[in-house]
Structures are given as structure tokens and as C-alpha cells.
Amino acid sequence: MSDSPVTPLHQVAPPLGVPELAPVTFATLRTAIMRAASDMRRAPLWGLFFALTYVAIGWALAAITIATGQSYWLIFAAVSFPLIGPFAAVGLYEVSRRIERGQPLTPRPILTVILHQSRRQLPSICAIVIFLFLFWFFLAHMIFALFLGLSTMTNISSSAEVFLTPNGLAMLAVGTAVGAAFSLLLYMITVISLPLLLDREVDFVTAMITSFQTVTRSPLPMLAWAVLIALLTFLALLPAFLGLFLALPFLGHATWHLYDQIAYGSAPQ
């Protein structure tokens, strides 16, 4: 590990263009996991800080939904997480970067890196993610209307037996397939593009294409990575979002180390 100071990301012009990315292997994933666990041990308060933002928003929107009885607040939750998530990831990426290069984890440069991203390409990719989310919601309502629009029910919670009818089962099958397709697409265009946008000066379209191509070049390891992300996220949501205090920092640190390995190898850059 180098002891020489490294200029924070926001004070230097990022390198131009996409680096030559190596294929992702299962060994790459193992190394990313081990380095992420090490970063969590060395900087637990930063992980807690960024995860707390997510959890607080989840708690607030869940409380508002329960208090008002209006489920449309869940739409605001789904939209707010894609907006906040990439910027929280920036902070975790910078924490991992500074740990790897021996830099002190002082608040100002880390938080400044996050603010700096609002003037780069990150808001554009956030907009794409939100558009896909809203289109996904639209299709979900269309699927529900097509299969269950004429079914008699008081509401979804008190008429759950309607989902066991042939139309209900067909709706669940089609909806699950469509949701899985959208989830896979979102994963493929963001898993590498987010750290790439922070590290290099590229447009968000190029970053998404690069991420998509990275997944298609290493389908098995990247599919395993997607399953791990989905499983950890699902488990983290169950105990009142409390699992996010561990899952989100881990996934943020691990994503940076995954990108860092395929972009630069094992040596710090």
C-alpha cells in the first residue's frame, strides 16, 4: 500500500475514455467480497452514515403509508432510492479508494466528491433508472388490469384469494417474468457504469453500454453477482430495513473493488 498522498477525485480531471476491462471471474468476485469486508471493518462509521440515509427514508415512507393508508407513497419510495442510491455509492466508492491508497478518511473530501457528481454524468443515469422504474410500474398496472381488471375484489389485501384463480396465477407468472427482465436490464446497465462514471470522463450512454457488454462477456460470474445482490437486498429488507446497515455498505465497497480489479488489476492506481 502506498503512503504517498493521493489527490481526491474532485480535484483532478478524470482520465478520458473507457479503460480496457478484463473479464470478470469468480476469483474476481471473491477478492471483491474480501476487500469489501475489510473496508467495512476499517470504516464502519462511513457505512453506517450512508446506510442510515436509506433506512431513514424507508422508515419515513413506510410510516406515511401506514398513517395515510395510501399505497401511492410506495411510488415515491421507489423513485427516491434510485436518486439517492448512486450518490451514496459515490461516497462508499471514495471510502474504498482512499483505504486502498492509504488516504485518511476525512469527511470533507469524501462529501465533496459526492457533491461534485451532480455536475457530471451521474444525474443522467439516475434519470434513466427512474424512467425504467416508472415504465415498469406502468406495465405492472397494465398486466394487473389485463388479467384481473374484471375480477371482483374489495382490495388487494382482503381479496387475496383472487390470486389463486387461473387469471391470478397467470398474472403473477407474467408479472414476475416482466419484473425479472426489468431487474436484469437495470443490473446490466448500472453494475459497472456507476463506478466507471466516477473514475473516468465518459458519457452515461457509453458507460451503460460498457456495463452491458461486461455482463455479456462474463455471464456466469456476473449472474452470480446479480443473485448475491438480490438475495442480500431481499434479506436486508425483511427486519424493518435494518439489514441495510450491513448490506448497503458491503455492496457499495464490493462494487468498487469489482470495477477496480477489472479496470486496473490488483495494484492501486
pLDDT digits (tens, 9 = 90+) for 100-145: 888 889 888 888 888 777 777 888 888 888 888 888 888 888 888 8
The pLDDT of residue 99: 92
* pLDDT of 80 strictly over 90: no
Cα dist from 180 to 28, 82, 133, 172, 257, whole Å: 25, 17, 12, 12, 26
pLDDT digits (tens, 9 = 90+) for 139-181: 888 888 888 776 665 555 556 677 778 888 888 899 889 988 9
Looking at every residue in the chain, the average pLDDT score rounds to 82
Q: CA 105, 56, 255, 251 torsion: positive or negative?
A: positive
Under 8 Å CB-to-CB from 153, ≥6 apart: which residues?
159, 162
Grade residue 3 by pLDDT with cuts at 50, 70 and 90: very low
pLDDT digits (tens, 9 = 90+) for 220-244: 999 999 999 989 988 887 777 788 8
Query: pTM here?
Result: 0.81
Bridge-partner residues for 201, per DSSP?
A: 16
* pLDDT of 42 strictly over 90: yes
Bridge-partner residues for 183, per DSSP?
A: none
The pLDDT of residue 4: 46
Q: Please check whether residue 263 is in contact with residue 21, taking contact to mean a CB–CB distance below 8 angstroms.
A: yes
The pLDDT of residue 153: 56
Under 8 Å CB-to-CB from 10, ≥6 apart: which residues?
109, 112, 113, 115, 116
| Calpha distance 228→133 (Å, rounded) | 21
| Calpha distance 198→121 (Å, rounded) | 9
Q: CA end-to-end span of the chain, whole Å? A: 11
